[in-house]
Amino acid sequence: MATPSLLFFFFLSVALSTSAHPKHFTIELIHRDSPLSPLYNPQNTATDRLNAAFLRSISRSRRFNHQTDLQSGLTELADAEYFMSITIGTPPVKVLVLADTGSDLIWVQCKPCQGCYGNGTIFDKKKSSTYKNEPCNSHNCNAFPHSKRVCDIYHNVCNYDYKYGDGSFTIGDVATETISIDTASGSPVSFPGISFGCGYNNDGIFENTSSGIIGLGGGKLSLISQLSSSIPIPKKLSYCLSHKSTNMNGKSFINLGTSTIPSGLSKASRMISTPLVIKDDYYYLTLEAISVGKTKIPYTGKFSNPKDGGIFLETKGNIIIDSGTPLTHLDSGFFRIFGAAVEESVTGAKRVSHPNKIFSHCFKPGNANIRLPEITVHFTRADVRLSETNAFVKENEDMVCLGMIPTTEAVIYGAYAQMDFFVGYDLESRTVSFQRIDCSANL
């Protein structure tokens, strides 16, 4: 079974069409635990990686509720699952950033730093011929939340000030720059005039190897929104997360500008679609029920609204879909019924306690072969059948655990449940599609 994989950090190696401004492009993702990652630690065991992913998942879930400004969509960089390497400016400077479908703002650390973190690259705007500060009344300045932008009247420069719920923050100038992505042939494709935050005062619990964030959420400031309005490319994105992405054999990828499966990838099932709800720049689906084998359990759980800080019953858009949160988080009241149904359906194993109290439903195989139930997640008009890899995690040869956890905070459909599915977001028709494929095949 799989070890942890996707919220979202990327390195970048791209296959693009040959035009100067392609209508879509595919980016290969490298997991933080992959041997190709700058964070790779060969001494970590599968159990170490699983425990770390659990902690990142909990941390990220809490930030969906506790951010002081949910319109920013910012989450702690230490929670990253994948890296993305881009170049910014003229001449181009390579920086390592988080690419996150749960975020909206694009920002990087900039010189001169009043306060910068880590050992990642710091962008020097004075050395770039394409850098341009945004004036106070510009369209790009007004796209920032009103409460988080400040006008430097003396210089007529738009500033931003974002703070995190955990005390982390980024402060700087709103500006435009050229962002470039390398093609598979090595020739970069450049996108001029991208609005971003040039952060000169940044501090908090950030990943030391990264330099900022690329937001791919549903808001006006995200990369996909900006590219769709400027080039334009279709306002679509898609990804496939391989359960093998922590080793050299697995490949994960993200597409910008299309929600169509790349040619050459085998399709193991038909594509199904469900309505997409965008609230506070986050992506939501509507969860109606979850089946354990043939037992269908209606989802009537409470939904935590991050913006209002309230807890109430929501009928449409009641679960965040996030590629950066490893585990699926379900309302604790519903989870009690769901977990009991899973426990009753497992055969050939006995219930055991997790040594670190991370997972609530773990099983130790007996003399017979363990049999795990099929779990189907029922979204509106889309029944997503999970594999054992999607629903369960194997910590070692002696223990298998349900890879979903209860929560009293944000309800999230996480990355493990999405592994080896092609997940396509059509932001124009407001749908999300699922189709099981082998992410690594012939990519």
Two structure tokens written together for 269 = 């099932």
> Is residue 171 within 8 Å of residue 199, measured between CB atoms?
yes
Long-range contacts of 183-188 (CB under 8 A, 24+ apart): 183/14, 183/15, 183/16, 183/25, 184/13, 184/14, 184/15, 184/16, 188/87, 188/92
100 is catalytic: yes
322 is catalytic: yes
**Bridge partner list, 115:** 201
Using DSSP bridges, classify how beta strands 362-365 and 349-352 pair: parallel, antiparallel or unpaired.
antiparallel
Q: Phi/psi of residue 65, each to 5°?
A: -95, -35
Using DSSP bridges, classify how beta strands 404-407 and 328-331 pair: parallel, antiparallel or unpaired.
parallel
Q: Annotated catalytic residue: which of 322, 331, 420, 426?
A: 322
> Is residue 65 within 8 Å of residue 75, measured between CB atoms?
no
Euclidean distance between CA atoms 307 and 73, whole angstroms:
11
CA atoms within 13 A on the CB side of 102: 34
Using DSSP bridges, classify how beta strands 431-436 and 272-275 pair: parallel, antiparallel or unpaired.
antiparallel
Torsion over CA: 413, 418, 385, 397 (sign): negative
Q: Which residues are catalytic?
A: 100, 322
